[in-house]
Amino acid sequence: MNFIISGDSHGEFMIGTLIGIPAGLKIDMDKINTDLKKRQNGYGRGERMKIERDEVNIISGIWKGYTTGAPLTILIKNKGKNTEKNIRKVPRPGHGDYSAYMKYKLPDLNIYTERNSARWTVVLTAIGNIARQFLDNLNIKISAYIEKIGELKTEDGKISNNIKKYIDKMKKSGNTLGGSIKVIAKNVKPGIGGYSSIFERLDSKIGKLFMAIPSVKGVIIGNTDFSLSGKEYHDEFYIENNKIRRKSNNAGGIEAGFTNGENIEITVFLKPIPTLREPLNSIDLEYIQETKAPYIRSDVTVVPASIVIFENALSLILMESILDRFGNDNVNDIIRRYNNANLFNWNDGNWKNDPW
């Protein structure tokens, strides 16, 4: 399974296509649209999200509410228009304006804003919700919560009134905030992933997709304290009720690119938004003169809104790896194969009489 996301930030539509999705998955449109609202309404969002009314429209790959096995294509209409009427030639520090111009060399930085905008994550959220609906059939549950916004830690992952005041203060001063998110997947069987290719490894897939999401500057799977010694860090085995268990979960549920049966635990670190009302120093690329960066409508922080994006991104990764192992034909067949996997019986195979 793979996917393609296209569309400009202020174009007519954002478009996503899932390729290799199995047949027979019943799609609940309300669940997709609920997640799109979560992405829109996170505290600290800007004026653009007051304009959009994100709803998904599936235009192929579905029949009477069920997937058919054909490529599944979605459209999400854009309502927001680009407010920049003039050619932009002053890049914003921290944004993709300058670096993208140095590759493509088209003399208007508005062009690069369209693709470097986080608007494309509306599609990631939608197709990731479809993946989450698939994982529900396997009793795999994914959640996320805020660890920190700026210099403030949350209590139980929730945004307190103090944090809201902190965000409001930054907005008033023309500043922006980053932070960190914890993402957790429960009830994933061991042995999901692979090593025939280095990019088949599950942690490789997580790093690849998560680092592609705007504002992400770091991803850690498992314990973030690397001052621990090997004896303190590595998760020892033990037996409980005839089941193999671990005494800890410092590996974050993934070892050598495979799930190990413990919860997958990921910490994601996000930088502050690069567009500030109180502008930073920059350069006019036409005249090569120092000037101030422009302000373009943006958020104060994306941390609260990003929760659902990371939940659904992880859903996509897990669905892809599960289909790699158990096939992508019919959902009911895949569920049966998955539920029958990992029945532990050492040396039970065609090789059992071979001299190992």
**Ordered DSSP codes for 12-65:** SEEEEEEESPPEEEEP-HHHHHHHHHHHHH-TT--THHHH----EEEEESEETT
Element (DSSP H or E) covering residue 152? strand 152-153
Taking only the tens place, the pLDDT of each residue in 149-171 is 999 999 888 889 999 999 999 99
Q: pLDDT at position 216, please?
A: 97
Query: Is the predicted pLDDT of residue 79 greater than 90, yes or no?
Result: no
Which range, 32-46, 75-89, 149-163, 312-326, has the best average confidence (pLDDT)?
Answer: 312-326
* Confidence band, pLDDT 50/70/90 cuts, at residue 131: very high
The pTM score is: 0.94
Q: pLDDT at position 356, please?
A: 56
Q: pLDDT at position 279, please?
A: 87
Taking only the tens place, the pLDDT of each residue in 227-277 is 999 999 999 999 999 888 999 999 999 999 999 999 999 999 999 998 888
% of the chain with per-residue pLDDT over 90: 81
Least confident of 148-162, 191-205, 213-227: 148-162
CATH architecture of 83-340: 4-Layer Sandwich (3.60)
Q: pLDDT at position 355, please?
A: 60
Q: pLDDT at position 296, please?
A: 82
- Taking each continuous run of H as one helix and of E as one strand, the counts in the chain are 10, 18
